Amino acid sequence: MTIPRVPRVPRPGPSTRARVTEVNRGQIKERRDDLATEEPLEIRVQAGGKRRTLAITMRTPGADFELAAGFLYGEGVAGEDDIAAIGYCTDADVPAEARYNTVTVRLRRPRLPDLPGLDRHFMTSSACGVCGTATIDALRDRRPPLAPASGPRVSHETLSALPDRLRAAQSVFGKTGGLHAAGLFDAHGTALAVREDVGRHNAVDKLIGHVLLTGGLPLHDRILLVSGRSSYEILQKALSAGIPVVCAISAPSSLAVDLAREFGATLIGFLRGERFNIYTGATRIV
């Protein structure tokens, strides 16, 4: 019997080379440039012998398993002990060129979760998360509000140092200049993990997925810093993981502030140098 040969497909990386024409003060030259890679990732879930596509998100390749795990955790599909295995999909219905863009998460459940999101395939861009009233209702069931005295006490000096420490850990951003980042820090400002992606939400999912797969949840004594703005979805993902302090280089949205206030989280925006705004939970800042 002849075994069919599976064609080898190059695995996409976080950056892609391109040729550009650079114009500088009237001088023109051709040079190489590095672009942040953006490709789709299809996330499938499998349980009880059945499998469905839950989402297709645009992302930067790298830490794909963490991204899938973090996304499922944030959406309430998979708990801390639900994931049995994660792998790239080699099913016959997946073209060879899409092999590294399709991830299947096998759950330790007798059947697929009964969630509205499984009744349809939804597309999320690299800039947008998946949100809705049902998601927040589920969050209220999973995570009670944080007590004002809970979580770390963080100094002004520690907060002011976080952006530079996040930037120093962004290796792909240094090449491309086109990626967001999410960093997890302890109360002393030590960087515990940093993940990059073209999408802020994906970077947070990768970070939380990393902690989930290493058994580190919940994160009741940690700080999250995102390189862009803090939105409703960013807060929802952080609160799902139990993170009490969320910081952003840019502005928060009104719904992010409302959510942080409801759940007792500390929300900081415009964290740049020694200047920042505390929108909620000022008692954790000393």
Query: pLDDT tens for residues 10-52?
Result: 788 888 889 999 999 889 999 999 898 999 999 999 999 999 9
Residue 275 assigned to a binding site: yes
CA neighbor of 142 nearest in space, from 69, 217, 64, 213? 217
Beta bridge partners of 44: 53, 104
d(CA 205, CA 202): 5
pTM here is: 0.87
Q: Are 65 and 162 part of one and the same domain?
A: no
Of 142, 175, 204, the position where a domain reaches its end is 142
Looking at the fold, whether 217 and 110 belong to one and the same domain comes out as no
Do 87 and 175 belong to one domain?
no
139 marked as part of a ligand binding site:
no
Residues 78 and 136 in one domain: yes
Judge if 180 and 136 occupy the same domain.
no
Q: What is the pLDDT of residue 9?
A: 67
Same domain, 134 and 199: no
- Whether 217 and 268 map to the same domain: the answer is yes
d(CA 224, CA 234): 10
Helix (H) or strand (E) holding 122: strand 122-124
Residues 109 and 177 in one domain: no
Tens-place pLDDT, residues 66-89: 999 999 999 889 988 999 999 998
The answer to whether residues 161 and 278 touch, using CB atoms and an 8 Å cutoff, is no
Residue 262 assigned as binding residue: no
Give the residue from 109, 142, 175 where a domain finishes. Answer: 142
Same domain assignment for residues 62 and 125? yes
Q: What is the pLDDT of residues 80-128, one digit of tens each?
A: 899 999 999 877 777 777 889 999 999 999 998 876 544 444 555 545 5
- Domains contained in the chain, number: 2
Cα–Cα distance list, 283 to 126, 143, 144, 149 (Å): 34, 20, 19, 8
Residue 30 belongs to a domain: no
**Is 185 one of the annotated binding-site residues?**
no
Residues 223 and 125 in one domain: no
Q: For 230-260, how does the pLDDT look when each residue is reduced to its tens digit (9 = 90+)?
A: 999 999 999 999 999 999 999 999 999 999 9
Task: Quote the pLDDT of residue 232.
Answer: 92
Task: Please check whether residue 274 lies inside any domain of the structure.
Answer: yes
The CATH number given to whatever domain includes residue 47 is 3.10.20.10
Supply 170's token pair: 């962004």
Task: Provide the annotated active-site residues.
Answer: 128
Q: Could you tell me if 126 and 194 lie in one domain?
A: no
44 is in an annotated binding site: no
Domain residues for 167? 156-284
Checking DSSP bridges between strand 15-24 and strand 27-36, what pairing results, if any?
Answer: antiparallel
Do residue 59 and residue 179 come from a single domain? Answer: no
Q: Where are the alpha helices (DSSP H) in 108-170?
A: 133-142, 156-168
Which residues on neighbouring strands pair with residue 41, listed in sequence order?
A: 57
